[in-house]
Structure 1
Amino acid sequence: MQDLVTVFGGSGFVGSQVVRALARAGHRVRVAVRQPARAYDLLLLGDVGQIQVVQANIRDQDSVARALDGANACVNLVGVLYESGRQKFASLHTEGARNVAQAAKAAGVTSMVQISAIGADADSPSVYARTKAKGEAAVREILPQAVILRPSIVFGPEDDFFNRFASMAVLSPALPLIGGGKTRFQPVYVGDVARAVAVAVANPASAGQTYELGGPAVLTFRQILELVLSETQRRRFLLPLPFGVANLIGQLGNLMALTPIPPPLTTDQVAQLKVDNVANPALPGLAELGIEATAVESVVGSYLYRYRKGGQFAEPPELDTGVTPA
C-alpha cells in the first residue's frame, strides 16, 4: 500500500469516484469532509483500514491542517454550483483552495491536485468562473508544482446535468434551450476524471501542469437534450429560451438559493452558458495522462433508463441516437 492521500470534498459525486480510484491504485486515503456521518459508506470502496473519514472544513485552517497531518499528497475537490448560506464561491473556490495549499506546504505535502473547471477565467462575467481562476492562481503561487485539472461538465450515474434534464422531461412538456441551445460542451465521464486524479497524484511528470478534461465528442446544448430524450424515450418540445428570459428565471433562482430548495437556474449559471465549455486543444488532457476518453452515449443509458416509462422494464432505445458531434 502506498502513501497517504487526503481528499477534501471526497463525499460528492466526483469525490467518491476519486476515492475509489485512489484506493484501487493502492493509496491510503483520508477523506476530509464537513459532515463525516454522510461519508462512512466510502469505507467500503477500499480494503479494511485503507480509507479513513475525518471532519474538516476548508474555511477552517486548523481543521485543514489536522486533515493533512502525515499525508504525502492531497486533492481538493470542494466547490459549489451556486451560493447558499455560508457556502460562497469566494470562500470555497478561492480562500478554501488557498487554505489547503498553505496547509499542504506547511505539512511538507509533495503533491497537490486542484480540481477547477473549464472556463475558469479571472475576467469572466461569471463569479463561479472568476473564483475558480483565483483559486488556481492562489494554489500555484503557494505550490508551483500543483496539478490543475479542469473538467468540462461531468457525467455519470449521480450527475446533476443529464439527470436534471431527464427528470424534467418526465414532468414537463418542454425542455428549455437556453440561448437557443448553441452552447457547446465536451462531457467527460466521472470515472475518467477520477482516473486522471489518481494518475496526476502519482506521476512526477504532471507536476506544475494544467490539464483540460473533455470527452471524445463536442455536443451542443440542443444535441445533449436530444440525447436525453432519446435515452428516456420521451417526446418533448425543445423551447428556445433567450438569455434575457433565462436571466429573469435565474433571478428567481437566486432567491430560491436562500432556501433549502435547489434553484433550477441562477443568473451566474446563465452567464456561464454564454461561453462554450470545451477543452483547449493547446493544453494537455486525458490522452496525455494515458486515459482513453469514454463516450457519453456509451454510459448515459445505464442510468437514464430509470426516467423511461416502465423504468428498467422498458424496451431499450435504438442504438443510433441521431446525435452527431458539433
Structure 2
Amino acid sequence: MFGGTGFLGRRIVRHLRSRGFPVRIASRHPDLGDRQFGPDDPQLQSIQADIQDERSVADALAGAYGVVNAVSLYVEHGQETFHSAHVESAQRVAAQAHRAGVDRLIHISGIGADAASPSRYIRKRGEGELAVRAAFVEALFIRPAVMFGPDDAFLNTILTLLRRLPIYPMFGRGATRLQPAYVEDVAEAIGQIMQRAETPSTIFELGGPRVYSYEEFLRVVAHQAGLAPRLIPIPFAVWHALAWASEILPSPLLTRNQVELMQIDTVSSPEVPGFVELGITPHSVEAILQKMLPNSG
C-alpha cells in the first residue's frame, strides 16, 4: 500500500484489513503508520520505502498479492512535481509490480484525468494512467471525484470560511459542476475490487449521489450549518492574479493550479462503471454533514 497514511489511503488500509487482507504500508515515514494504526495488529506492517527509488519500491513489493498506489500531490514543492508523483512514480510502481509478479494493481487517479488537458495537474494524471497501463496491462484505475469526510481539507475549509466571512467570494459565477464522493465509500469500493476473483482491466469513476454547481454546493453546506452567507462571484482572472501573488510565499494559500481545477467540471461519466456496478449506495454530503457539524469548527 503506497500512500497508506493519507486521507484516502489510511481508510483503504482499514477496509482491506476488514476483508482479511494482511497489509504492508510502504512510506517514507513508517512511524506515521504505526501511530495511525497502532502496534497491535500482526497483519499490519509499516515499512520504510521511497516511491522515487526503484530498489526501495521493489523491496516493498516482494511477495505481495496486490498493490494499491494512492500517492497523490496537489501542490508542487521543488523536486516533488505532478510529473514526478503522478507519472514517474506511478510508472515505477507499475513496472516493479509487473516484475514482481503481483496479481492485481489498483492505481488511484481522478475524475477527468486526461493527457491532453490544458491543466497540468489533470494532464499529468492522464499521462500517469497511460504510463501505468503500458507497464502493467491489467491495472485497474479508480477515478474518485473530489472526496469529503470528517477530517478533510475540503468541507472543513469551506465551513470555516462560511462561518468567518459574511461575504463569501466564489470562484467565477459558481457554475462549475462537482459530484463529491464520501471517502469511506471510495475506500469500500477499492476493498471490493481488490477482493473480486476476476476484474478485467477497467476504469471506475466514483462520484457521489448528486451533482451540484459550485454555488449550489456552497448553499447546501451553509444551510446545513445554519448559515446564510452572501455569495459574491469573483472572475477567474482575479483568482489567477491572487494565486500568482500567493505563489511567491513559501507556503502559498492558493495556487494557479487550484484555480484551474475550479474551472473544470468533475462529474462521473454514465458510460463508465462506478458505485452502482459495485453495489454501493454512496453517502450524500448532507448526510455526512449532519454527523460532522457537531464536531466541526
TM-score (norm 1): 0.87
Tell me, yes or no, if structure 1 residue 202 matches structure 2 residue 191: no
The CA deviation at 1:157 is: 0.9
Equivalenced residues, count: 297
Separation of aligned partners in 2, 1:176 and 1:119 = 25
Paired residue for 2:256? 267
Which AA in structure 2 matches 1:175? Answer: Y
Secondary structure of 1:180's counterpart equals coil
The CA deviation at 1:173 is: 2.5
Paired residue for 1:284? 273
Tell me, yes or no, if structure 1 residue 52 matches structure 2 residue 45: yes
Paired residue for 1:116, among 106, 109, 116?
A: 109
Secondary structure of 1:246's counterpart equals helix
Tell me, yes or no, if structure 1 residue 35 matches structure 2 residue 29: yes
Separation of aligned partners in 2, 1:201 and 1:208 = 12
Q: Contact 2:182–2:282 (CA<8 Å) still a contact in 1?
A: yes
The CA deviation at 1:73 is: 0.4
* Aligned pairs (5 A) from 1:124-143: 124-143=117-136
The CA deviation at 1:186 is: 0.7
Separation of aligned partners in 2, 1:264 and 1:235 = 25
Paired residue for 2:65, among 46, 68, 72?
A: 72
Separation of aligned partners in 1, 2:263 and 2:49 = 35
Paired residue for 2:15? 21
Which AA in structure 1 matches 2:264? Answer: V
The CA deviation at 1:290 is: 2.0
Separation of aligned partners in 1, 2:267 and 2:199 = 21
Relative to structure 1, is the Cα distance of residues 305 and 221 closer, same or farther in structure 2, using a 3 angstrom cutoff? farther
Tell me, yes or no, if structure 1 residue 193 matches structure 2 residue 186: yes
Q: Contact 1:126–1:271 (CA<8 Å) still a contact in 2?
A: yes
Q: Contact 2:140–2:203 (CA<8 Å) still a contact in 1?
A: yes
* Aligned pairs (5 A) from 1:315-326: none
Separation of aligned partners in 2, 1:249 and 1:306 = 32
Deviates more, 1:78-87 or 1:125-134: 78-87
Separation of aligned partners in 2, 1:236 and 1:22 = 41
The CA deviation at 1:204 is: 4.1
RMSD: 1.6
* Aligned pairs (5 A) from 1:78-93: 78-93=71-86
Structure 1 outlier segments of 4+, above 3 Å? 304-308
Separation of aligned partners in 2, 1:160 and 1:206 = 32
Separation of aligned partners in 1, 2:220 and 2:294 = 12
Which AA in structure 2 matches 1:228? Answer: V
Q: Contact 1:57–1:64 (CA<8 Å) still a contact in 2?
A: yes
Which AA in structure 2 matches 1:151? Answer: P
Secondary structure of 1:160's counterpart equals coil
Paired residue for 2:230, among 237, 240, 243?
A: 237
Which AA in structure 2 matches 1:268? Answer: N
Separation of aligned partners in 1, 2:257 and 2:149 = 24
Q: Contact 1:170–1:307 (CA<8 Å) still a contact in 2?
A: no
Separation of aligned partners in 1, 2:247 and 2:116 = 22
Deviates more, 1:21-30 or 1:153-162: 153-162
Separation of aligned partners in 2, 1:185 and 1:50 = 38
Q: Contact 1:163–1:304 (CA<8 Å) still a contact in 2?
A: no
Relative to structure 1, is the Cα distance of residues 249 and 134 closer, same or farther in structure 2, using a 3 angstrom cutoff? same
The CA deviation at 1:255 is: 2.6
The CA deviation at 1:172 is: 2.4
